[in-house]
Amino acid sequence: MVVGAFPMAKLLYLGIRQISKPLANRIKAGARRSEFFKTYVCLPPAQLYHWVEMRTKMRIMGFRGTAIKPLNEEAAAELGAELLGEATIFIVGGACMVLEYSRHQAQQRRKEEEQRAAWIEMQDEVGRLALALEALQAQVQAQEAPRALEELRAQMEEVRAELYTRDAEARSKSTPKAASTPEK
């Protein structure tokens, strides 16, 4: 089974987001039934939302300083429950995005670490190869020096032999001339 080819994490996040909608509906229904939720969780945000919305609309239309009447309790409870449901969906979606981002960052860090490790390994290999090259160069130079000396000695012997041969020829030529002169 190839897990890397199929984005399991994204599927999981999508499932969580889909579950958040029925969860938000259940929270809305519970908020409508419970007095505590109505009074302390739903009504204050609903009244604040209504006040900000009406104030903005009045300013856009050019009315300044008019008093805004609060919503009745039933309408405020309904609006508060809707806001709570939407906030739940928004929070779950935001959490999914944060989790996906952190997963992506971890994946990116892992890739960078692998690249760094590969780079260090290559540098070590280059260092080892450089040392091996130096050792081989020293070995070659050590082998070439005696060969070069032997070649020089051989050339020197050849030159000596040639000089000896020339010297011997020169002596042999000069000796018969000297011997033939007194006979005349």
Residues 145-170 have pLDDT tens digits of 777 778 888 888 888 888 888 888 87
User: What was the pLDDT predicted at 50?
Assistant: 94
Most confident of 21-30, 110-119, 134-143: 110-119
Mean predicted confidence (pLDDT) in 25-49: 86
Q: Which residue has the higher pLDDT, 75 or 28?
A: 75
> Is the residue at 149 inside a domain?
no
* Residue among 36, 68, 41 nearest 55 (CA): 68
* For residue 1, pLDDT beyond 50: no
> Is the residue at 121 inside a domain?
no
Q: Round to whole Å and give the CA distance between 184 and 181.
A: 6
Q: Which two tokens stand for residue 137?
A: 């160069």
User: What was the pLDDT predicted at 82?
Assistant: 86
Identify residue 76 by its one-letter amino acid code.
A
> Is the residue at 128 inside a domain?
no
- The answer to whether the CB of 84 falls within 8 A of the CB of 42 is yes
> Is the residue at 171 inside a domain?
no
User: What was the pLDDT predicted at 184?
Assistant: 43
> Is the residue at 175 inside a domain?
no
* Residue among 68, 14, 78, 15 nearest 46 (CA): 78
Q: What is the pLDDT of residues 70-125, one digit of tens each?
A: 999 889 988 988 888 888 888 888 888 898 899 899 999 999 999 999 999 999 99
The mean pLDDT of the chain is 83
- The answer to whether the CB of 10 falls within 8 A of the CB of 100 is yes
> Is the residue at 132 inside a domain?
no
* For residue 62, pLDDT beyond 60: yes
- The answer to whether the CB of 71 falls within 8 A of the CB of 50 is yes
- The answer to whether the CB of 88 falls within 8 A of the CB of 20 is yes
Distance between first and last Cα of the chain: 119
Domain of 73?
11-114
User: What was the pLDDT predicted at 149?
Assistant: 76
User: What was the pLDDT predicted at 182?
Assistant: 52
Number of domains in the chain: 1
> Is the residue at 79 inside a domain?
yes
The number of residues in the chain equals 184
Q: Which of 23-37, 112-126, 167-181 has the lowest mean pLDDT?
A: 167-181
Q: Round to whole Å and give the CA distance between 20 and 93.
A: 8
User: What was the pLDDT predicted at 154?
Assistant: 87
> Is the residue at 35 inside a domain?
yes
Helix axes 73-180, 43-61, angle to 10 degrees: 80
Q: Which residue has the higher pLDDT, 181 or 94?
A: 94
